Amino acid sequence: MEQIETFLAMGEHGAFIWPAYGLTAAVMIGFTVSSLRDLSARRKALRALEAAMPEHGRRGGEAAP
């Protein structure tokens, strides 16, 4: 148990190191969540735009006359 306490103390700098790790993890998680929400919104907007387009204007379909 003493080895774990020594590791967590990190040479008496643990009080600075662990909050920095926590803050970094929180920011990275926040960026990930934000990116996934933005991706979902953009996909939804793209589906709405594609639904509003006439069939001949979609990519992969036949070319417009």
Beta strands in 1-65 (DSSP E): none
**Residue the block writes with tokens 């735009």:** 49
DSSP state of 62: P
Predicted pLDDT of residue 65: 47
pLDDT in tens, 40-50: 999 999 999 99
Give the distance from CA 16 to its chain's centroid. Answer: 26
For the chain, what are the domain ranges? 19-48
Distance CA 10, CA 17 (A): 8
Convert the pLDDT of each residue in 26-38 to its tens digit: 999 999 999 999 9
Contact 18, 8 (CB under 8 A): yes
**How far, in Å, CA of 55 to CA of 44, rounded?**
19
